Chain A
């Protein structure tokens, strides 16, 4: 931001964030689901809110033969269906003029040569000033062809004073070896500074608010350590099954799909030390230390500390649903986990002996993602004697839905006798602020356009996360079906997950 003010004094005071630069956004996978559901609606919303620089061109790249006009029509339908705000014809008309389509096979060098020509032409026509943002909204198998060809035609480097960046969508590999291979592929054409690995969880308002909660308030940080915190729980539940993602999900599973990226990122934000400043690398350095401090789970440790489950038939909101193995396009003998619960420890000064319990699952009773910090009980004197059970203080950060923060504390029930019950102080974003938060992709696209990598994962973070996950996967591979627990759809997961906490004298928070 400071840089922006120094360079454009007229921006001072108008925005508290870095301003996105004019650029061409080149989306590989233009006809895909992500582009239709998320990317183009996000760009439209930014345009409607006046956040997108007027000098932007969006070039969709895909294999099918289509004209600009046909693609614009398709994207208009998608935006009307998926945009968070109603589409206005006059805004759409102007926005649509910035949408273009370029057909090529991803392995065809000629297609990239003509893409380079087209981008130069757009620089002249649209004032995009030679800046390029490449978005790889395609399967990882296609990264190699795309980034190699971008390099071959020189699109990986911008001219002097301009920039070229690449956004890589998850999954960033399926294990450490494949993540390293992917990173090698990308880094052969783009430097780490040019590479933006997107994890849309980090674009959510409450995820960003975790750092504000911890470091803009003086009251929490002194308590944020092993002396006062008993344990931490992170839950990501969803009522949905695999829906249309069976092909991917039946290979990935909950651990790879959610824990390796989203949930470990949330853990990093909750557990990291204060960074020296808000620079992207200062924050990512601290996040990396958290993942590095995780006690490795391998061999027997996996059996003791990790529960994997798969949903069987049950009911969600009163409607019967089939079990995972009965889902369409799922292997009927699949041993893939749709639920995972972990007990983890961070071996560092702040978090020694504070377990972190993490659970993620499909077909759970509620769709909710939250982090709860459970504080130690008050000393067993006065109101907290043996005969009286007093709950712990719990600070909850709700990521989705109903973003907010709540704090549970004890209060006396009015009356002549002394009875104590937990009460909750509850802050809801939706109650306090009428204005809805932008979609995560809106924030992240703007950040990439303005060169702010804070909310994107760095190579070493991703690889370190895989280094933690791989031994668990390896143990499961060795165990095959043994150790896979089943839970009825609509329940909170297998009993073994409850036992994971029960044997520590704890219980999962009731959501």
Chain B
């Protein structure tokens, strides 16, 4: 086996045209060493950040413990004057849960520079594991010009809207990609995945029909978010608005307002506070307050309900980790088209 990724090595350098042949050789050696190749998806990671190849190789090593895939890691530098097209192959191996054998995912790494970065679709297409879904994780900003052929192959487009300096502009490009793929692409925003556990903690307050009347009387929401996570907080507010049918979203400096129908106005205050991306959300309905807190570094949420100032519940629920491996892993565990997210995008358009 040329390279096992615990070293985070890119593995063996190969000519791009010989990748499949070299992979065969790699697995022929692996069979002798009781290694099993596994793959459920094609997962391509694209970045134009220098040094991203090493960083993403490390990430793939962790991710493949739970998600067997063919990983395609690409670092591109379109500003380079010279053509650069280098490739490596390696494998990430982990002992299976049964403990009897090593389960391996293969990684193909590419460094592209100069004019040949425009060849991205052809490089990706020719190295997909056939019949498996194709997830493309675009780690940096989407450029205005992308070969539309790429979108015809992508099944799931992963991005993190929290990193976008121009949310509206980037979202427009994402929606264009979706349109070019006849709406077939599933949009997977890691910024949205970041909210999964918080949303589950908020939702559970209202599972019992006896709590449903609060939907009509919630009028005050407070969300505390870390610096740089304003968009995350707005998505959270947008989720409440989309699901509870609040309309006419408006924003001012540190708050959002929605109409709850009739004269009811809902004020959503957004407060910047160091710590977790979303460190607290509270919803007030009359004299009842529903609160979810996430202390810095904690992996549990504290879930509390107060009635007239009396604490009714104080429970712990799992908090998500704000690290790319955990977030991507959560994202890959989910299926479906994320219909709620698409609704939320409509709600927050113009609010971020």
Is B180 part of the binding interface, using a Cβ–Cβ cutoff of 8 Å?
no
CB distance from B117 to the nearest CB of A (A): 33
Task: From B50-58, B170-178, B182-190, B336-344, give the one contacting chain A.
Answer: B336-344
Asked if residues A13 and B338 are in contact (CB atoms below 8 Å), the reply is yes
In the bound assembly, the distance between CA atoms of A50 and B244 in angstroms comes to 23
Is B312 part of the binding interface, using a Cβ–Cβ cutoff of 8 Å?
yes
Known A-B contacts A48-B318, A54-B313, A435-B333; the reply to A430 vs B212 at CB < 8 A is: no
What is the size, in residues, of chain A's interface with B at 8 Å between Cβ atoms?
A: 37
Is B111 part of the binding interface, using a Cβ–Cβ cutoff of 8 Å?
no
Task: From A14-22, A64-72, A195-203, give the one contacting chain B.
Answer: A14-22
In the bound assembly, the distance between CA atoms of A401 and B338 in angstroms comes to 34
Asked if residues B313 and A12 are in contact (CB atoms below 8 Å), the reply is no
Listed A/B pairs (18) with beta-carbon separation below 8 Å: A8-B206, A12-B339, A13-B336, A13-B340, A14-B196, A22-B208, A50-B200, A50-B201, A54-B315, A90-B316, A94-B316, A127-B305, A127-B313, A161-B210, A430-B98, A431-B68, A433-B40, A433-B68
Asked if residues A53 and B68 are in contact (CB atoms below 8 Å), the reply is no
In the bound assembly, the distance between CA atoms of A297 and B288 in angstroms comes to 64
In the bound assembly, the distance between CA atoms of A94 and B200 in angstroms comes to 18
In the bound assembly, the distance between CA atoms of A416 and B297 in angstroms comes to 64
Is A9 part of the binding interface, using a Cβ–Cβ cutoff of 8 Å?
yes
Asked if residues B208 and A21 are in contact (CB atoms below 8 Å), the reply is yes
What is the size, in residues, of chain B's interface with A at 8 Å between Cβ atoms?
A: 48
Which of B67, B300, B312, B338 is close to A90, meaning CB atoms less than 8 Å apart? B300
Q: Chain A residues near B315 (CB, 8 Å)?
A: 54, 94
Question: Which residues of chain B from 302 to 352 have any CB-CB distance to chain A below 8 Å in the complex?
Answer: 303, 305, 312-318, 333, 335-336, 338-341
Which of B66, B212, B336 is close to A433, meaning CB atoms less than 8 Å apart? B66
In the bound assembly, the distance between CA atoms of A434 and B67 in angstroms comes to 6
* A259-303 vs B, Cβ < 8 Å mask (1 yes, 0 no): 000000000000000000000000000000000000000000000
Asked if residues A434 and B317 are in contact (CB atoms below 8 Å), the reply is no
* B98-128 vs A, Cβ < 8 Å mask (1 yes, 0 no): 1000010000000000000000000000000
CB distance from A47 to the nearest CB of B (A): 8
Q: Chain B residues near A8 (CB, 8 Å)?
A: 203, 206-207, 212
Asked if residues B207 and A50 are in contact (CB atoms below 8 Å), the reply is no
Residue of chain A at shortest CB distance from B199: A14
Is A49 part of the binding interface, using a Cβ–Cβ cutoff of 8 Å?
yes
Which of A53, A91, A430, A431 is close to B204, meaning CB atoms less than 8 Å apart? A53
Known A-B contacts A7-B209, A14-B203; the reply to A50 vs B318 at CB < 8 A is: yes
Known A-B contacts A54-B313, A430-B98, A433-B66; the reply to A12 vs B207 at CB < 8 A is: no
Which of B212, B338, B340 is close to A7, meaning CB atoms less than 8 Å apart? B212
Asked if residues B210 and A129 are in contact (CB atoms below 8 Å), the reply is yes
Is B96 part of the binding interface, using a Cβ–Cβ cutoff of 8 Å?
yes
Asked if residues A11 and B203 are in contact (CB atoms below 8 Å), the reply is yes
Is B36 part of the binding interface, using a Cβ–Cβ cutoff of 8 Å?
yes
Which of A11, A49, A54, A161 is close to B209, meaning CB atoms less than 8 Å apart? A161
Is A317 part of the binding interface, using a Cβ–Cβ cutoff of 8 Å?
no
Which of B68, B239, B244, B317 is close to A432, meaning CB atoms less than 8 Å apart? B68
Residue of chain B at shortest CB distance from A125: B312
Q: Chain A residues near B335 (CB, 8 Å)?
A: 16
In the bound assembly, the distance between CA atoms of A126 and B311 in angstroms comes to 11
Is B130 part of the binding interface, using a Cβ–Cβ cutoff of 8 Å?
no
CB distance from A93 to the nearest CB of B (A): 9
CB distance from A304 to the nearest CB of B (A): 40
A-side interface residues toward B, CB under 8 Å?
4, 7-16, 19, 21-22, 48-50, 53-55, 90-91, 94, 126-127, 129, 161, 401-402, 428, 430-436
Q: Chain A residues near B36 (CB, 8 Å)?
A: 431
Known A-B contacts A55-B313, A401-B98, A430-B97; the reply to A10 vs B318 at CB < 8 A is: no
Asked if residues A129 and B208 are in contact (CB atoms below 8 Å), the reply is yes
Asked if residues A54 and B317 are in contact (CB atoms below 8 Å), the reply is yes
Asked if residues A54 and B340 are in contact (CB atoms below 8 Å), the reply is no
Is B38 part of the binding interface, using a Cβ–Cβ cutoff of 8 Å?
yes
Is B254 part of the binding interface, using a Cβ–Cβ cutoff of 8 Å?
no
Asked if residues B66 and A435 are in contact (CB atoms below 8 Å), the reply is yes
Q: Chain A residues near B215 (CB, 8 Å)?
A: 9
Is B202 part of the binding interface, using a Cβ–Cβ cutoff of 8 Å?
yes
In the bound assembly, the distance between CA atoms of A421 and B300 in angstroms comes to 54
In the bound assembly, the distance between CA atoms of A126 and B67 in angstroms comes to 39
CB distance from B350 to the nearest CB of A (A): 23
Residue of chain A at shortest CB distance from B38: A431
CB distance from A92 to the nearest CB of B (A): 10
Known A-B contacts A50-B318, A90-B300; the reply to A9 vs B66 at CB < 8 A is: no
Asked if residues B97 and A436 are in contact (CB atoms below 8 Å), the reply is yes
Which of A22, A50, A126, A401 is close to B317, meaning CB atoms less than 8 Å apart? A50
In the bound assembly, the distance between CA atoms of A60 and B124 in angstroms comes to 58
Is B197 part of the binding interface, using a Cβ–Cβ cutoff of 8 Å?
yes
Q: Chain A residues near B197 (CB, 8 Å)?
A: 50
In the bound assembly, the distance between CA atoms of A16 and B300 in angstroms comes to 23
Residue of chain A at shortest CB distance from B63: A434
In the bound assembly, the distance between CA atoms of A55 and B207 in angstroms comes to 11
Residue of chain B at shortest CB distance from A55: B313
In the bound assembly, the distance between CA atoms of A436 and B65 in angstroms comes to 12
Asked if residues A54 and B204 are in contact (CB atoms below 8 Å), the reply is yes
Is B243 part of the binding interface, using a Cβ–Cβ cutoff of 8 Å?
yes
In the bound assembly, the distance between CA atoms of A10 and B196 in angstroms comes to 11
Q: Chain A residues near B96 (CB, 8 Å)?
A: 428, 430-431
Asked if residues A431 and B207 are in contact (CB atoms below 8 Å), the reply is no
Q: Chain B residues near A22 (CB, 8 Å)?
A: 207-208
CB distance from B294 to the nearest CB of A (A): 13
Asked if residues B208 and A434 are in contact (CB atoms below 8 Å), the reply is no
Asked if residues A434 and B303 are in contact (CB atoms below 8 Å), the reply is no
Asked if residues B207 and A91 are in contact (CB atoms below 8 Å), the reply is no
Q: Chain B residues near A13 (CB, 8 Å)?
A: 336, 338-341
- Given known contacts A50-B197, A430-B103, what 10 new A-B pairs fall within 8 Å (CB)? A8-B207, A9-B243, A10-B199, A10-B243, A16-B335, A19-B204, A48-B318, A90-B316, A127-B312, A431-B38
* B225-243 vs A, Cβ < 8 Å mask (1 yes, 0 no): 0000000000000011001
For the complex of A and B, the 4 pairs showing the least CB-CB separation, nearest first, are: A434-B66, A54-B315, A10-B203, A13-B340
Q: Chain A residues near B318 (CB, 8 Å)?
A: 48-50
Residue of chain A at shortest CB distance from B244: A9
Asked if residues B66 and A431 are in contact (CB atoms below 8 Å), the reply is no
Asked if residues A21 and B207 are in contact (CB atoms below 8 Å), the reply is yes
Asked if residues A53 and B203 are in contact (CB atoms below 8 Å), the reply is no
Q: Chain B residues near A433 (CB, 8 Å)?
A: 40, 66, 68
Asked if residues A432 and B40 are in contact (CB atoms below 8 Å), the reply is yes
CB distance from A5 to the nearest CB of B (A): 10
Q: Chain B residues near A430 (CB, 8 Å)?
A: 96-98, 103
Of the candidates B40, B97, B243, the one having the most CB atoms from chain A within 10 angstroms of its own CB is B97
